[in-house]
Structure 1
Amino acid sequence: MEELSHSDNSMHGSPLCWVSEHSGFCGSIKNSASDFVVTEINMCGQLVSDVGIECCQDTCSIECRQEKSHPSHNKRLKKQEKTPENLSGWPVFDKSEDAKVMYSEVNQTAVCNLSESAANCCSMQVSKTWGDTLDLLLGSSVAEALEKFAFLSKDRRPVKAEGTEDEAMLLLGTFREKSQRAAIHLAVRQKFPFLKTVTNSAEIRVRLDPRYLELCQLVSEKEADGLFCFLDSKERSSKFTFQPDGNKAHRKAVHHFVSKYFGKLVETKSFSEQNGSGHHGAVITVRFRDRNVKSSRKRNTNDCQAEPAIYTVFTLCKVNLETLEAVACLASELGVVPSDFSYAGIKDKKAVTSQTMVVKNVTINRLKAKQLSIQSKGLKVYNLRAATQHLRVGQLKGNHFSIIVRNISKHQEDDPEASLTDRVFEAIEIVKEKGFVNYYGPQRFGLGQNVQADQIGLALLKEMLVKAVHLFFTPEEGNDPVNKAKRHFIQTEDAKATLALMPEYKTRERLVLRALNRFGNNREGCTRAWLSFPHSMRILYIHSYCSKVWNEAVSFRLKAYGLKVVEGDLVACDNVDGELLSQNNQQVHTVTAEDLESNIYSINQVVLPMPGNNIQYPRNKLHSWYQEALARDGLKACKFRIPALQLNIPGCYRRLLAQPQQLVYQWLEGKEAPFAKEGCGLATDESKQRQETGDSLSLSFSLNSSCYATVCLREIMKCNV
């Protein structure tokens, strides 16, 4: 690999360097989202679209191992195997012989499924499940009596039971075991949220909850059921919302009711809303209070132990949507915050992409219940399974790409006698063999924007937080609602008025505006505004700047030394795989004169550092180049730490060259060109309406994590794509 050529084309201000000198060709990509399909490859080497319950990823395999190692796992399994007639999913035991075991087992299982059932308390399926549980706990005759009692009580018809109609009660029986009583209390409340269970000695009685009757004087029975079921769920990350209400006095009465009976547990807040008729109203949202309440008493060890978090891992498919926008949409649907989601990397916007995500504090059943609603937003979640921890950025092996390049033609300066297909096939085979320069792609910086992400990152590194906010709100050309809102903020700095103009889907902009409206436009307010972003979003701007420096360093390195290893280069150790190496300096080695004589390293092992506070620089011309580049940007004394934003940038190492794997291609004549495989089944109507012209090329290949398909295509085609 000795050739190296340069091009007038640039990668964000840095002249591109090529690995080989083939002619290339012209064409267009991303004519529609369905022409560019990206599927994440997990750490096990699987396409995430194909991963099922048996997924071997770390995020879920730990869960399986823990469950199998639990002492009672095999015991429960054996008991359930003896009862194939049990269709409800609950173990069936002989009530006389195995009562103690049964009540203990049901109680444990019920508690585990509490939040999942609460999320769907009004569904027939969940109702049937708790009904089966009551049959198991009480016996069919008592369970039937309870069902009738509940029906008549809710309809406020005369009930033939103890006491008056208003104080009608039903005796469920005497239960000596505490675990028995706990399981019964739970099952009754979950199936009939409007009933209240009362224990007297070992007797359990049930009656209509007077608070429920009082609430029904203010709201509908459906809303009352929903609130009581929400309160009983104890799922602290969830929330309950009443129907829109334009009557302020009525909303005040609802606020007072919730505060009076449940004020220590939950808090309420009204949010304005405009319906389709243009009438303004408000909705009341109820959420659990934070548990971090200061107490003067000395806490014991058990008090200090935090409850284990719930994690659910799933595959997300999106079309024509940024990853962060998709996360904001999911957070809104599930009633959590964007920072509760974790993912291995950001995917292309104009594409059909599939990737693994993990959400904290959302159960599998709750996510299942929202699947259809989520799909209506242009997203699809599937392959749901349990996990024990969040995902880390970079926790993937790579991505697989299925791409259609359309309207293929030769470069204008190319030999008119040359065969187009020969040019195309030659280019692909050369890059397949030699690879490409591993630049960061333009989407890393914000393609086509007046202010790009690296400029904001530089302002943040210099701790110019007010300037960074102004750069963030710099408008583009055009008079669409987003740019109107941005322009209004730049001209007036009126965060409240800008917030009213900013469309709901612009989640990041609205987060910043809310913080500025609350804390002001000074440095303190801008600091709070940046802190309103999740950590992964804040650091993205810093990484964008560091990526720009890396791209420029690569071009300088290739112009200075070409495609050969030189003394002072940094190389990845042989046992390290992947394109992006951590800041661990033991993973890299500085090439010595003896190494060059031995010829033990190749250009494929050379890495360049991303700027940070814990990396070493090459010991050749690149060392002074990095110092000059950082000084030019005003970062000569930068420590790559921003305490105000809780950011630490240690740096990392990235390979100079990258190699496409499993690259296959097919020439497609004229209008016969199909669309790339969409994979997740989401509609992409725009592609179906487009008329095909010219020849096309189908490409399929895999790249390691942090490599860009658009950069690979640039090397193949020798032009901007």
Structure 2
Amino acid sequence: MERDTQPCFMSDHEGFCGSIKNSTRDFVVIELDVQGRPVNRTDRPEEPTKLASTEVRQCSQKASLGEVTAGMASMVQNGDGVLSQEGFDLNVILGSSVNEALEEFASKTVACSEEQKEDTEMTLGTFPDKQQRASVHRAVRHNYPFLMTVTHQTEIRVKVDRDFRELSQLVSEEEAEDFFRFIDAKVPGSAFTFLPDDSKEHRTSVHHFVSRRFGKLVETKSFAEQDKTAITVRLREKGNQGKKSRKRTASDSEEQVETYTGFTLKKENLETLEAISYMAAVLGVLPSDFSYAGIKDKRAITYQSMVVKKISTERLLEKTSEFERRGMQLSNIHPVSEPLRLGRLQGNHFDLVIRDLKPHGKCSSSDLEVLVKEAVENVKARGFVNYYGPQRFGNSQTVQADQVGLALLKEDTVAAVRLFLSPEEGEDLQNKAKRHFLHTGNAKESLLLMPAYKARERLMLRALHRYGSGQEGCGRAWLSLPHGMRVFYLHAYCSRLWNEAASYRLNTLPHRPVQGDLVCTRPQRDNSATEESDTAQVHVVTPAEEKDNVFSLEQVVLPMPGNSVKYPENVLGKWYQDRLAQDGLSACRFRITSLKLNVPGCYRPLLAYPYDITYSLHVKEEPHVMGLSPSHSTASLTLSFDLDSSCYATVCLREIMKCEP
């Protein structure tokens, strides 16, 4: 099958020629957080609010550590700074309709048989924000201790808690409810005492249950009270939790308090991953200890949010001068409670300069103003095809990232290593090192040649020297790279396929939704839906909906290949099957267990739009130099606009200019 890689355009204006990135200052990118605020703003982040120690026992796991994030919708404080009961109000947290459904579900589970309880569950909906999910878990458990909540990606489901049922057969349901509320509060050093019990055998059963289920969190003792004995359960202090066993369960890991520091990174002429590698080396941590919402351009000045694990604000502040010497500035340094998640942003703001503007064809330079206005207004109204830009595939001219990703998806780690270490033209040190490895297979000698700043290549060569360059050694070499770097190559392949699918869709089918197309049913700018629409929000267009024009082209989404997506139910779906088969991926599961890689896939809108776009044309008259050259004028265009996350300014410019910028 012939690959359809020619870009499609949504407007038929003429466009113009010009050049971008003449200097890094001509291309400024500012990340917009989930509230749409620029991350380089100067106001400080909201400080965490302390809870009164006398009331902290009523709070959730977050509150038990002494802090909640100010402004969190479901955590309401009174005038004394104490978490109020509204923090557990499910009407506030879930909304009245979902809360009513939960009440009905809870009533039914109480009434149904034990066999029915095993299979009974309901969904509470999806909650993209981690703190929002924590509020839901906390509030449901507080109001219904006999239920348990389970998170699947961003969806929360509720079902009967087997542990509660087991304990309620040993003690009264009221006691079991109080005990589970005590456990969920997770206040270090706090205690809970069961009612006195004169049966040693019965007390032993309770001891065994508590120890087996919560042993790493609590300690139990029996105390004599007059003629009867009662069991007291005490939550371990933080330093003592888990000392009995080094093995931790998922629930225990939630108890560990990790240090996270957030900051805004300004970088110039640096790749995001290159900047991270340098900062990790200076701070003495791993590159994987850094998290970020998105990767930014190299040839630009960029601002983005980052979080580093294991490093305090004081330690980070100490190293800022070293980072500045490398073209990086850190600001807005502050403690945070968790790492950043990839895609956790609304989008990016761009301030661009296009220089040396000229018409494409026979138009004169005096027509530039008309050409520019027509181009910008067309794209503002009609948008552009939401292709992935060249940055997604790396800067290499010989082997691009999607080729490496294809080799990894085929689980051919040896070929993937050789592609990764393929040299470019030139005799600089990194290319000499790569060339030496491909010719000799000697990783040790190649490592000595590789420049210190090429962190990924050095990690790879170090592992190859240690484990060899066979299939197993190459697998270990890939595992030596941080997860974000490994999965980048798989995403690059899927992105290339998406670009081809978009061109095929627009060249083959009408420019309107047709039967079998996939459409997203939520608003375009709802929490940056650009690359995160889940299957529950994707709908297959029916014949009747096509006939009645129920949906618009801007609602059409195309799947990024993965193991959790569905494909269009028309010729485009068949195209995906054939295209994957062409690359030998007919049976691909998009999961590489040996490399700890998983690609669930997602849905990406076919079209994207620039928001809040402004522009200004500048014409400068160059003076005539006697006897050398006639006078002439040069034109430049300044553009400012916002794009949703994972949209590319270079692709938007290509639609505006009708050429590669």
Bin the TM-score by the shorter chain.
Answer: 0.5 to 0.7
- When residues 293 and 527 of structure 1 are mapped into structure 2, their CA distance, relative to the original with a 3 A threshold, is farther
The equivalent residue for 1:28 is 19
Distance 1:596 1:496, change over 3 A: same
Equivalent-residue separation in structure 2 for 1:75 and 1:429 (angstroms): 51
**Whole-Å separation in 1 of the counterparts to 2:490 and 2:256:** 34
Determine the structure 2 residue equivalent to 1:570: 518
Partner of 1:6: none
What is the deviation of 1:417?
8.4
State the partner residue of 1:117: none
Q: CA deviation at 1:53?
A: 2.1
Could you tell me how far apart the structure 2 residues matched to 1:70 and 1:570 are?
A: 40
How many Å apart are 1:535 and its aligned residue? Answer: 1.0
> What whole-Å deviation, never above 9, does each CA across 1:459-480 have from its counterpart, x for those lacking one?
0000000000000010000111
Partner of 1:479: 427
Change (3 A) 1:429 1:444: same
Query: What is the distance in 1 between the residues matched to 2:247 and 2:584?
Result: 50
1:16 maps to which residue? 7
Superposed counterparts of 1:667-678, under 5 Å: 667-670=617-620
Cα distance, 1:419–1:360 mapped onto 2, change above 3 Å: same
Match of 1:53 in 2: 44
Equivalent of residue 262 in structure 2, options 296, 300, 313? 313
Paired AA for residue 391 in structure 2: Q
**Contact kept? 2:6, 2:503, Cα under 8 Å:** yes
Deviation at 1:418, TM superposition (A): 6.8
Equivalent of 2:601 in 651, 655, 673: 651
The corresponding residue for 1:587 is 537
Could you list the structure 1 runs, at least 4 aligned residues long, displaced by more than 4 angstroms after superposition: 61-65, 67-71, 73-76, 291-306
* Aligned partner letter, 1:405: I
* Structure 1 residue 387, shift from structure 2 partner: 0.6
Structure 2 equivalent of residue 371 of structure 1? 320
Distance 2:47 2:252 in 1: 35
Secondary structure at the counterpart of residue 68 of structure 2: helix
Distance in 2, Cα, partners of 1:70 & 1:620:
50
Larger deviation, residues 45-54 vs 531-540: 45-54
Kept in 2, the 8 Å contact 1:48–1:354? The answer is yes
Unaligned runs of 5+ in 1: 1-11, 77-290, 673-691
Matched, 1:718 2:655: no
- Counterpart of 1:610 (choices 557, 560, 563) is 560
1:543 correspondence with 2:491 = yes
Deviation at 1:566, TM superposition (A): 0.8
Contact 2:270/2:299 (<8 A) preserved: yes
| Cα contact 1:435–1:660 (8 A) shared by 2 | yes
Provide the TM-score with structure 2 as the length reference.
Answer: 0.67
Partners of 1:382 and 1:620 in 2: how far apart? 50
Please say if residues 579 and 706 of structure 1, whose CA atoms lie closer than 8 Å, have aligned partners that are also in contact: no
1:40 corresponds to 2:31: yes
Which structure's relative contact order is higher, taking Cα pairs within 8 Å and 6+ residues apart?
1
* Counterpart for residue 509 of structure 1: 457
In the alignment, structure 1 residue 702 sits paired with structure 2 residue 642: yes
Residue 707 of structure 1 aligns to a residue in which SS? coil
1:361 and 2:310 equivalent?
A: yes
Q: Which amino acid aligns with 1:346?
A: I
Counterpart mapping for 1:79-228 below 5 A:
none
Aligned positions, number: 473
- Find the residue that maps to 2:261 and give its secondary structure: strand
Q: Secondary structure at the match of 1:702?
A: strand
| Residue of structure 1 aligned with 2:281, choices 313, 332, 349 | 332
Cα distance between partner residues in 2 of 1:662 and 1:490: 49
The equivalent position to 1:401 in structure 2, one of 350, 353, 356, is 350
Amino acid in structure 2 at the alignment position of 1:432: K
- Alpha carbons 2:498, 2:558 under 8 Å: kept: yes
Deviation, 1:506, is 0.1
Maintained 8 Å contact 1:37/1:403:
yes
CA contact (8 A) 1:35 1:351 kept: yes
Check conservation: 1:313, 1:384, Cα contact below 8 A.
yes
1:626–1:295: structure 2 CA closer, same or farther, 3 Å change rule? same
- Using the TM superposition, give the Cα deviation of residue 414 of structure 1 relative to its aligned residue in structure 2, in angstroms: 3.6
Match of 2:615 among 662, 665, 674: 665
Instruction: Check 1:406–1:579 CA distance in 2 against 1; reply closer, same or farther (3 A cut).
Output: farther
Corresponding position: 1:627 with 2:627: no
The residue type paired with residue 410 of structure 1 is P
Partners of 1:67 and 1:41 in 2: CA distance: 20
- Structure 2 distance, partners of 1:607, 1:373, is 44
Q: How many angstroms apart in 1 are the aligned matches of 2:246 and 2:484?
A: 37
Letter in 2 for 1:640: F
In structure 2, the CA distance between the partners of 1:387 and 1:294, relative to structure 1 (3 Å rule), is closer
Amino acid at match of 2:656: I
Question: 2:493, 2:384 → 1: CA distance?
Answer: 22
Residues 402-421 of structure 1 mapped to structure 2, 5 A cutoff: 402-411=351-360, 413-416=361-364, 419-421=367-369
Q: Is residue 526 from structure 1 mapped to residue 474 from structure 2 by the alignment?
A: yes
Q: Is the 8 A contact 1:609 1:617 kept in 2?
A: yes
- Give the Cα separation in 2 of the matches to 1:294 and 1:379: 41
Residue type of the alignment partner of 2:414? V
| Alpha-carbon shift at residue 51 of structure 1 (Å) | 5.2
Deviations 1:636-669 (A, max 9, x none): 1111110010111110000000000000001112
What residue identity is the alignment partner of 1:541?
Y
**1:583 and 1:650 in contact (8 A); partners too:** no
Q: State the alpha-carbon separation in 1 of the partners of residues 342 and 472 from structure 2.
A: 29
For residues 580 and 33 of structure 1, what CA distance do their matches in structure 2 show?
Answer: 27
Is the alpha carbon distance of 1:448 and 1:645 closer, same or farther for their aligned partners in structure 2, counting shifts above 3 Å? closer
Work out the CA distance in 1 between the residues paired with 2:602 and 2:251. Answer: 40
Q: Using the TM superposition, give the Cα deviation of residue 598 of structure 1 relative to its aligned residue in structure 2, in angstroms.
A: 2.6
The share of aligned pairs that are identical, in percent, is 51
Structure 2 residue ranges without an equivalent (≥5): 49-61, 83-239, 623-631
Distance 1:408 1:37 in 2: 19
